[in-house]
Chain A
Amino acid sequence: MNELALHPGLLLIGGALVLPFLRGHARSTAVLALPLAALFFLWQLPDGTLWHMQWLGYEISPLAVDKLSRLFATIFALMACGGGLFALGQQSRLEIPAAFVYAGSAIGVALAGDLITVFVFWELMAVGSTLVLWSAGTPAAWAASRRYVMIHLLGGVILFAGVTGHLIDTGDAAFARMAPDSIAHWLILAGFLINAGAPPLSAWLPDAYPEASWSGTVFLSAFTTKTAVYVLLRGFPGTEFLIWIGLFMVFYGIVYALLENDMRRILAYSIVNQVGFMIAGIGIGTEMALNGAAAHAFTHILYKALLLMSAGSVLAATGRRKCSELGGLFHSMPLTTICGTIGALAISSFPLTSGFVSKSMVTQAAIDGHLVWVWLLLAAASAGVFLHAGIKFPWFVFFQKDSGLRPADPPASMRLAMVVFAFLCIALGVWPEPLYALLPHAVDYAPYTAAHVLTQLQLLLFSGLAFFVMLPWLKRTPTLTLDTDWLYRVPLPSAARAVKRIHQRGQRGANALSGAIVARLSAGVRRHKQADGLILRSWPTGSMALWVMTMLLAWLALYYLP
């Protein structure tokens, strides 16, 4: 350790361990102050590698700061604060501490200068997020958390194998740019992509996140996938096939969200969709694209949290989560409706919202690189985002038919969290310069040109028209849509049960056979060796003496015989 610098991630994790012992005002104050303190200390840190250590002969640097890591650590700390404010009234005493361990380890990944530290915080993140999921306390959440932790431990093992291979190949633990040119690097990439929600294992995300509590999903939406975006930005920028993975995720998210009935699962699919834009940007790999991916991760955390806060408010107030059972809530929840709609506009990249100034940098990078197909698909996907998240979510939850529900807007702490995040979504859209100043590369981009605003409005408004024209096709049904998690929820368990049955049957047969053999053997042993068996039968002492005397007499007689 060269300098006495405080690690903001460890501060948050340490604070999380103290939180369960606090009550009342002290707890509320600590929940808000801890992430802000982490943010403060983060901004006190100078650029460069601040902590050096030796571990197993490797040079590791658990605290290293540059523009990219500062950007992600900043938004993670902000998110922990906003999420903590929203969750202040949460009955579960486990959730906020778990969420702070989760957020602190996400900051730890962002500030890690070497792959070993990345891996340690990566696993700690899996622990924290699983605990957030558990703290919902429902059987569905428990079952989902087991599937969730299974996938993330698998991802962790793959990442660990990759990191180990990298250490053996290069002898250097530093986390620098890599290329998928060796098995080790492919494994690292695969481990990163699993957390990003990339195919084929993307189903863990929409399976698990909607099962958390009304506040838990807000935390869950922010850290895991965006940490994966961060490590991909640092480790694999310009890896071309990531463009196609990203585009697949974009359309996968839209189509599944269109089919979905659960309001929070719609938003979970749209996380995969939005992360797809970022991964496509990382694949394009120019400075503009990487800036776009980083900026989009920043704005996405804010508007996705806002959307899930509005959905969480609805869930907390009504206990319902299916679109088919909701509707007409704008009557009695005006603030939630407005905040949810602002989030929906921001995710759709509507002009004057944060999404407009960030996503369009990725699109611009596709234009600059003359990638006409990528650009066309990104434009189609932008229209699709408005369709599935921008209109569908607010329409079915707050408007459409009147469900007759008249819940009130949520309590003050939740309202305040929503208003602050809605303000940030609009403020960054109107005044993007502070965000642009934080980006890893110098920004030479003006989002607000007449042509850009007009074409974006055409794209979005006509996709809105398509939504209302085709509304009968989008009617909500009480259904779910099978995804790859089906494989490990239905056929794999039944295969395991079949193997168990065969094993049990074989075991019974073997038991019967070996039982017969053992019985026969033991009968033989008993015949010979039991108390009155041939060998162990006892003899009277008198007959022994008689036989001894008989033998002595025989010997005597034989001796004197001539």
Chain B
Amino acid sequence: MKAHAGPPQVGAFKENERAQPANDRHPLPREGGRGQGRHWLDEPGNVKRLWRLFLAVLAATVLAELAVALHPHFEVEALFGFHAWFGFLACAAMILAAKWLGLLLKRRDTYYEAADDE
């Protein structure tokens, strides 16, 4: 039996299989053009449609509160659309906190390389 019989290398990538800027199966989209290599998500019109759909779903989840009994457990939870605005504000607060912390603690990603070499 040869040393490398069988499929142990199935998951291995050969160097020439690594990412290439474009290949025949997946050519890069042409500027402004339709056609081959252009995914439907590449069309700005479709992205706009997705946005509208997303906003409609958001509105629907809030309005559905009128139809579904929520059984709030805490007083604050009984406020209209609580989970919607609480989720939004919590995320905004976390993004701001991260931004602020980043001002203090962000460094170039080569920061440790000098230290690690020693």
Residues of A whose CB lies within 8 Å of any CB of B are: 23-28, 86-91, 139-140, 143, 215, 251, 254-256, 258-259, 261-262, 316-320, 322, 330-332, 367, 372, 375-376, 379-380, 383-384, 387, 399, 402, 404-408, 410-414, 450-451, 454-467, 470, 473-474, 477-483, 489-490, 493, 497
- Please, which residues of chain A bring their CB within 8 A of the CB of B9? 89
Cross-interface CB contact of A411 among B12, B64, B65, B106, cutoff 8 Å: B12
**Cβ-based interface call for B34 (8 A):** no
**Cβ-based interface call for B79 (8 A):** no
**Cβ-based interface call for B99 (8 A):** yes
Q: How far is the CA of A410 from the CA of B21 in the complex (A)?
A: 17
Minimum CB–CB distance from B15 to chain A (whole Å) comes to 10
Q: List 30 A-B contacts (CB under 8 A).
A: A23-B5, A28-B7, A89-B8, A89-B12, A89-B13, A256-B98, A259-B102, A262-B109, A317-B13, A319-B18, A331-B26, A332-B25, A367-B74, A375-B73, A376-B76, A376-B86, A380-B90, A402-B29, A404-B28, A410-B11, A454-B70, A455-B82, A457-B61, A459-B87, A462-B84, A462-B85, A467-B91, A473-B96, A481-B101, A481-B105
If A23-B6, A258-B98 touch, whether A463 touches B70 (CB-CB below 8 Å) is: no
- Please, which residues of chain A bring their CB within 8 A of the CB of B105? 259, 481-483
Q: Which residue of B lies closest to A372 (CB)?
A: B74
- Please, which residues of chain B bring their CB within 8 A of the CB of A461? 54, 57-58, 61, 84, 87
Q: Which residue of A lies closest to B104 (CB)?
A: A482
Instruction: Select the residue from B3, B18, B98 with max chain A CB neighbours within 10 A.
Output: B98
Say yes or no: B92 contacts A466, CB within 8 Å: yes
Q: How far is the CA of A26 from the CA of B95 in the complex (A)?
A: 51
Q: Which residue of A lies closest to B22 (CB)?
A: A406
- Please, which residues of chain A bring their CB within 8 A of the CB of B71? 451
Say yes or no: A413 contacts B91, CB within 8 Å: no
- Please, which residues of chain B bring their CB within 8 A of the CB of A465? 54, 58, 88
**Cβ-based interface call for B52 (8 A):** no
Cross-interface CB contact of A489 among B69, B102, B115, cutoff 8 Å: B115
Say yes or no: A88 contacts B10, CB within 8 Å: yes
If A319-B19, A473-B95 touch, whether A459 touches B107 (CB-CB below 8 Å) is: no
Say yes or no: A479 contacts B109, CB within 8 Å: yes
- Binary interface encoding of chain B residues 44-73 relative to chain A, with 1 for a CB under 8 A from any of its CBs, else 0: 000000000010011001101100111101
Cross-interface CB contact of B12 among A91, A255, A464, cutoff 8 Å: A91
Cross-interface CB contact of B87 among A262, A322, A463, A473, cutoff 8 Å: A463
If A258-B95, A458-B81 touch, whether A24 touches B5 (CB-CB below 8 Å) is: yes
Minimum CB–CB distance from B61 to chain A (whole Å) comes to 5
The SS class assigned to the A binding surface is: helix
Say yes or no: B19 contacts A318, CB within 8 Å: yes
Residues of B whose CB lies within 8 Å of any CB of A are: 1, 3-13, 17-23, 25-29, 37, 39, 41-42, 54, 57-58, 61-62, 64-65, 68-71, 73-74, 76, 81-88, 90-99, 101-102, 105-109, 111-112, 115-116, 118
Cross-interface CB contact of A251 among B25, B28, B94, cutoff 8 Å: B94
- Please, which residues of chain A bring their CB within 8 A of the CB of B115? 489-490, 493
Say yes or no: A379 contacts B19, CB within 8 Å: no
- Please, which residues of chain A bring their CB within 8 A of the CB of B6? 23-28
Say yes or no: A458 contacts B13, CB within 8 Å: no
If A86-B11, A88-B8, A259-B98 touch, whether A478 touches B26 (CB-CB below 8 Å) is: no
Say yes or no: A89 contacts B109, CB within 8 Å: no
- Please, which residues of chain B bring their CB within 8 A of the CB of A478? 108-109
- Please, which residues of chain B bring their CB within 8 A of the CB of A215? 11
Q: Which residue of B lies closest to A85 (CB)?
A: B11
- Please, which residues of chain B bring their CB within 8 A of the CB of A466? 87-88, 91-92, 95
Q: Which residue of B lies closest to A471 (CB)?
A: B95
Q: How far is the CA of A411 from the CA of B13 in the complex (A)?
A: 8
Say yes or no: B19 contacts A317, CB within 8 Å: yes
Say yes or no: A387 contacts B107, CB within 8 Å: no
- Please, which residues of chain B bring their CB within 8 A of the CB of A477? 106
Minimum CB–CB distance from A221 to chain B (whole Å) comes to 18
- Please, which residues of chain B bring their CB within 8 A of the CB of A467? 91
Q: How far is the CA of A361 from the CA of B4 in the complex (A)?
A: 49
- Please, which residues of chain A bring their CB within 8 A of the CB of B107? 479-482
- Please, which residues of chain B bring their CB within 8 A of the CB of A399? 41
- Please, which residues of chain A bring their CB within 8 A of the CB of B73? 367, 375
